[in-house]
Chain A
């Protein structure tokens, strides 16, 4: 695969081929989202990391004003319980929705997030394609 094709695929993965997060989140209601999870995968913390890598770039691309904060905590100790949550913040910075992401796949976390948040799916003709 040539360098240009590889980069084209990378850019399209952000703006075109990843379908689920191609939504416009109601900017008048929400300020941003905050994810808190572990750096390590153990104890069911893999889902949020995959969500961050696979879906959040597209969500940020179509919602440039949505503030996305990620707090990752180092924890080697499996006995310790680290929160694994996604918080939706309103205009004043208060938490309005909380999603527990522990032991969940990134796909199901995204579904749950879209169920709880007011949003609009971006029509096909408005998508950016490289």
Chain B
């Protein structure tokens, strides 16, 4: 009787170790068991590391799969719907939300080769979501006055405005910026680091610098810029309060702009558009036919 009692804690202790070992088996990738006398010690080794070649192969496989998916018609996706039905679901999902939050947006995946420059461009919507805010930089005061008379500009000025943006007294809340060639060098030097990453730095390459600002603004006022980020393009195409027709017209305009940006892309092999979804601020993302 006494002997059985004395062995109990030992048996109990062993059971505990066994239980610990059995749970650890589930969690670790590989396990090495070493025996040291009576006790058993379990050591974990890191999961198998892939070689460079294996990683390359895996990347290639992923790329080929995404390319094959891009060639598939949208109707192959299990929850494909036509646009009016999608909008009906989105409007139902957005019920009771504040008007400012009921934005319908279009997201399309872009499949492109490595090193291909990202797609960017401007969409001009038949029914714009909101007025785009425009900033104009110039040293020519007369020209600025003339522009202010013709257009509702959000911000206009010369060196003093640049200094104000730099010290933070003027917020950067505009969507587009234009400039005359005489101020570009100061603008790039002073604000290149601030405006550049936001995509609102006027430069000759983008076509946002010109002596004739009147025509430039007229061509660009009703447009919204878009840019490929993380292999996808996302554009707001309407509010749930818009009619089906207005949203479809906006989607067609967005498609035209994206296709134009693909044709003007400077690359040997041009990018392809893959799965396209229509979604809203609080609603689900539903696949539509975009091609």
Residues of A within 8 A of B (CB): 4, 7-8, 10-11, 14-15, 35, 52, 56-61, 64, 68-70, 128, 130
Contacts and interface: CB of A to CB of B under 8 A. Distances in A.
Contact of A57 (B78, B85, B93): B93
B95 interface: yes
Interface in B58-99: 78-79, 85, 88-89, 91-93, 95-96
Which of the four size classes fits the interface of chain B?
10 to 19
Contact of A14 (B78, B93, B96): B93
Given A61-B88, A64-B88, A4 B78 contact: yes
Given A7-B284, A10-B284, A11-B284, A57 B79 contact: no
Contacts of A61: 88-89, 91-92
A61 B92 CA distance: 5
A130 B79 contact: yes
Contacts of B89: 11, 14-15, 61
Contact residues of A: prevailing secondary structure: helix
Contact of A70 (B78, B96, B284): B96
A7 B92 CA distance: 15
Contacts, number: 40
A61 B93 CA distance: 9
Given A10-B284, A14-B89, A68 B79 contact: no
Contacts of A56: 95-96
Nearest to A35: B96
Contact residues of B: prevailing secondary structure: helix
B79 A4 contact: yes
A68 B102 CA distance: 14
Contacts of A10: 284
B284 A64 contact: no
B91 A64 contact: yes
A104 B93 CA distance: 24
B95 A57 contact: yes
A7 B224 CA distance: 31
Contacts of A128: 85
30 contacts: A4-B78, A4-B79, A7-B79, A10-B284, A11-B79, A11-B89, A11-B284, A14-B89, A14-B92, A14-B93, A15-B89, A15-B92, A35-B96, A52-B95, A56-B95, A57-B92, A57-B93, A58-B92, A59-B95, A60-B92, A60-B95, A61-B88, A61-B89, A61-B91, A64-B91, A68-B96, A69-B96, A70-B95, A128-B85, A130-B79
Given A10-B284, A11-B284, A70-B96, A60 B79 contact: no
Contacts of A52: 95-96
Given A14-B92, A35-B96, A61-B89, 4 more contacts: A14-B89, A52-B96, A60-B91, A69-B96
Contacts of B79: 4, 7-8, 11, 130
Nearest to A57: B92
A22 B96 CA distance: 18
Interface string B90-117: 0111011000000000000000000000
A52 B96 CA distance: 8
A105 B78 CA distance: 37
Nearest to A49: B96
Contacts of A8: 79
A10 B220 CA distance: 41
Contacts of A15: 89, 92
A11 B79 CA distance: 10
Which 3 A-B pairs give the minimum distances between C-beta atoms?
A70-B96, A61-B92, A60-B95
